[in-house]
Amino acid sequence: MADAVLAVIACAYLLIEVPYHDGSITDPATVPIMFWGDLAAYASLAWRRRFPMTVLALVWTLWLLGGRWDIWEEWNASWAELGTPTALMLMFYTAGRWSSSRRAAFFLAGTLLPTVLTTARVHAWMEAGLAPYPAIAPSEDLFAVSFLLCAAAWGLGRMRRSDVEAVARAEESRAQLVLAEERVRIARELHDIVAHNVSAMVIQADGAGAALLDGDTAEADKAIEAIGTCGRGALGELRLLLAVLRDAPVTSQPSISAIGDLAERFPLRVRLRVEGDIREVPASFGLAAYRIVQEALTNTLRHAGKEANAEVFLRYAEDGLHIEVTDDGARRRHGLSEALRAAGTGHGLVGVRERAGMFGGTAHAGPLPERGFRVRATLPWM
């Protein structure tokens, strides 16, 4: 559209300015023939970006046939600002900017054709004894400036094309990086949701089986109820994650305030302590804190069993939120199923460090001096 407007404006200017300037409005036959070549050249600019090489070939041909080869001199002609030489320079820029074809170099070399022809003529005149050449002298620089101007326009177009492509590549790289980070985030969320709830359900299923063998139906009922609770919780969190991926309206994701509910429904004896003035935090910050506690408790359940006692300590300090999850390492469950052992791949505690690192925080995990295990994390305030 912009090229069509440019062509219309240029042609309108030529149709109005040139006849008036030359006093030929009453007799179109007196308008120089080269004017019609200029008009055709600028009309073709309407397709300059759509068919850059085709339009360049047309304008170059009109320029060559028109005989106005000295671009620098033509700028001082009556309507030189919109002559074929100017259109030729514009098309060399367009070819460099909008086309990757190397054929433009052929037309660029073709701008030296007048130089070759003029050199041959001068040589012929000198051989004929004309000193130094006829009265109508060719350009003193033998039209070399025309070549240099066109080469500069083409080079400028290619530089502009390279800059735009470099920016496009950088944006593509950033998009790929964002996509990779999003994949890691989704994988981390899936791990936290699935690993926690599956670990809890496996342990409860083992407990229910042992209770039934012992004839303790009450304990088996509690274990089965806990399995249902864990399953429903996993489904709810998966729905939230899928809704986020679909850009659908969602309820709020788990945050610090949900840690109390997590401690209550977790198949462990969990004590929650909170110290300091509670403050509002961004959703991503709250989700990270929740997942860190969830993974630490899952680690306790996986390795110490449901007979273990755990404590979650949240301290709201000046520098950030300090999270500490400890357990007493009650005993290693000899009846721990192979499926549960396989679930303990070690990605969880790595995820704790990654989540803390996202907010410039730190995380450490290791055994306590006597027995038990401790996970510590610090999330600086945003």
161-215 tens-digit pLDDT: 989 888 888 888 887 787 777 677 677 777 667 766 777 777 777 777 877 777 7
Asked if residue 61 and residue 76 are part of one domain, the reply reads yes
Asked if residue 115 and residue 21 are part of one domain, the reply reads yes
In the predicted model, residues of the chain with pLDDT beneath 70 are 18-32, 72-82, 122-123, 125-126, 128-143, 182, 185, 191-192, 195-196, 237, 239-252, 330-348
pTM of the model: 0.51
Residue 291 corresponds to which tokens in the numbers above? 């997942």
Asked if residue 237 and residue 342 are part of one domain, the reply reads yes
Give the span between the Cα atoms of 142 and 114, in whole angstroms. 8
- Domain ends where: 157, 172, 187? 172
Asked if residue 346 and residue 234 are part of one domain, the reply reads yes
Res 380: pLDDT: 93
Res 335: pLDDT: 43
Res 29: pLDDT: 59
Contact call for residues 292 and 323 (beta carbons, < 8 A): yes
Asked if residue 285 and residue 255 are part of one domain, the reply reads yes
Q: What is the CATH number of the domain that holds 208?
A: 3.30.565.10
Beta-sheet pairing, 269-275 with 309-316: parallel
Res 271: pLDDT: 92
Asked if residue 158 and residue 26 are part of one domain, the reply reads yes
Res 77: pLDDT: 55
Res 333: pLDDT: 44
Asked if residue 215 and residue 155 are part of one domain, the reply reads no
Asked if residue 198 and residue 117 are part of one domain, the reply reads no
Res 93: pLDDT: 92
Tell me which DSSP letter residue 370 carries.
S
Asked if residue 188 and residue 162 are part of one domain, the reply reads no
Asked if residue 186 and residue 162 are part of one domain, the reply reads no
- Domain ends where: 117, 149, 172? 172
Q: Which of 324, 300, 312, 302 is nearest to 372 (CA)?
A: 300
Digit-coded pLDDT (tens) for 10-59: 888 877 776 655 554 445 556 667 778 888 888 998 999 889 999 999 99
238-251 burial, b if ≥16 CB within 10 A, otherwise e? Answer: eebbeeeeeeeeee
The answer to whether the bond into 132 is cis (omega within 30° of 0) is yes
Res 156: pLDDT: 93
Asked if residue 153 and residue 241 are part of one domain, the reply reads no
State residue 281 phi and psi, 5-degree precision.
-130, 160
For the chain, state the CA radius of gyration.
40
Structural domain harbouring 306: 179-380
The count of structural domains within the chain is 2
Which residues partner with 316 through β-bridges?
A: 321
Asked if residue 127 and residue 187 are part of one domain, the reply reads no
Beta-carbon-side half-sphere exposure of residue 259 (alpha carbons within 13 Å): 27
Res 323: pLDDT: 95
- Domain ends where: 122, 147, 172? 172
